[in-house]
Structure 1
Amino acid sequence: MMEIEVRSEREIRLTVVRLLADKGYKVESIAEGSGSPEFSQIVATRGAERLLCAIKITTQPHGRISFTRAPTGRWKVLDNVNYVIHAWQKPSSRDQVCVSMFEKEIIREAFELNFAAKRQHAMEQIPSWIGPIYEPAWRFTGSGFGDKAIWTERVSLSPQGSQSNQKADDAPTSSEEPGLGIMDRIKQMLSEHMGVRPELIEIDVRVKL
């Protein structure tokens, strides 16, 4: 039986927000659409500095993340930002998160290499899942980008509700309603474990009374 922590993804995102706040940034969620969790896309400002970031959460043993490539060659979400924050809650350390920031072009290059490998094997239809640790199988072409991070920090997982203790001026703001429901979050976690898109997963819930 697989144990699923349905609250972990939101906690990890809030941990990233807290880390950026500690670095002096004011963080605002700019995630749009019903399928985009709160703080999955953010703008972080510090003085004149303005960072557009995608926060990608993973609890997968190899730290894999996914982006979707449109038929036009544009990468959804990825091509809307300047940086990618990779937040990895490793199975061996459930109370900590390894957070790394990458320039968008580093991640884009890795995913383009993965797409080229899929095309070579006539498998463009399968999703791309790659991570910072190198994996030799062709399906994970593009993996191993971890040493190209701008910075990497290991931080303690934020307890639920910790953001409410911040001063009003420093608290993260959101342009969206709070994150996805339980079933959508379960689908996202299952998609990471199974290597398929969340919209292809159906969950049948049966209640015995």
Structure 2
Amino acid sequence: MSKSEKENEIRLAAVRILKAKGYVIEDESSGSGVPKLSRLRLRLDGDQVGEMCAVKVTTSGRIHFVHDGAGSFKVLDDMDLILHACPVSGDTSKVRLSMFAQKTINDAFGKTFARLDSLGKGNLPIWLNPDREDGDRFVGSGFIGEALWSETVSIADEDDEAGKRSQASQSSDGSIMDVIKEMLSKHMGVSPDKIDIDVRVRV
């Protein structure tokens, strides 16, 4: 699976969890290089306007917003919420989803930019992790405690996977019985649909 396919799988998992929380979701991702399901409008309890949410998928834990040179960050200024999605270290079948208010992320990036700018390094790109990291470039990190909610979930839809396993099991069982009936029909000289098989298991 390619990186882009894996990231799309994670976004689908994020959408699944958001729907389970009661959100009505509209994908408003558009433009060159903007992945589907990366910018969502979330509506809750009949809200007609909703809130804009950026879904940031990362494997390192760090997320990035581009500083516009005028004191703000592109995309971030247009959002109300930021959903941070990072696969769990040591178990890439699971992802930690953490929802933040826009102000939390904006303050973290603004704090980092101010530090770098004071050091004459305001041109450096900013990548921040909700978990704490040391160094001037990460001075705004460590905001996981301000998450509106955070939970670890399976990337795959467990209910869907269980259904697929059940269907596969039923299909497999049916095929075996069909083969046995076909073999018996040839041996007995009767049509397979005339044969009933009673399976008993001795313990």
TM-score (ref. length: structure 2): 0.73
Shift of 1:48: 2.9
Counting only pairs closer than 5 Å after superposition, residues 47-58 of structure 1 correspond to structure 2 as 47-49=45-47, 50-58=50-58
User: For 2:71 and 2:36, how far apart are their aligned partners in 1?
Assistant: 26
Match of 1:144 among 142, 145, 156: 142
TM-score (ref. length: structure 1): 0.71
Aligned to 2:183: none
Give the fraction of aligned pairs with identical amino acids, expressed as a percent: 36
- Amino acid aligned to 1:22: A
Aligned to 1:200: none
Shift of 1:72: 2.0
Structure 1 residues 91, 4: closer, same or farther in 2, change over 3 A? farther
In structure 2, stretches of 5+ residues that fail to align are: 164-203
User: For 2:149 and 2:7, how far apart are their aligned partners in 1?
Assistant: 21
CA-based RMSD: 1.8
- Amino acid aligned to 1:48: G
- Where 2:88 maps in the other structure, the secondary structure is coil
Structure 1 residues 6, 53: closer, same or farther in 2, change over 3 A? closer
- Amino acid aligned to 1:151: W
User: For 2:30 and 2:70, how far apart are their aligned partners in 1?
Assistant: 21
Structure 1 residues 126, 4: closer, same or farther in 2, change over 3 A? farther
Shift of 1:4: 6.0
- Amino acid aligned to 1:59: T
Shift of 1:73: 1.9
In structure 1, stretches of 5+ residues that fail to align are: 166-209
Aligned to 2:98: 100
User: For 2:118 and 2:72, how far apart are their aligned partners in 1?
Assistant: 19
- Where 2:52 maps in the other structure, the secondary structure is strand
- Where 1:106 maps in the other structure, the secondary structure is helix
- Where 2:13 maps in the other structure, the secondary structure is helix
Query: Hey, which bits of structure 1, 4+ residues long, moved more than 6 A?
Result: none
Deviation string, structure 1 residues 33-65 (Cα, Å, up to 9, x no partner): 1121111110011233322101111111xx111
Shift of 1:158: 2.8
Deviation string, structure 1 residues 165-195 (Cα, Å, up to 9, x no partner): 9xxxxxxxxxxxxxxxxxxxxxxxxxxxxxx
The structure that has the greater radius of gyration is 2
2:8 corresponds to 1:10: yes
- Amino acid aligned to 1:125: N
> What is the count of residue pairs matched by the alignment?
157
Considering Cα pairs closer than 8 Å and 6+ residues apart, tell me whether 1 or 2 has the greater RCO: 1
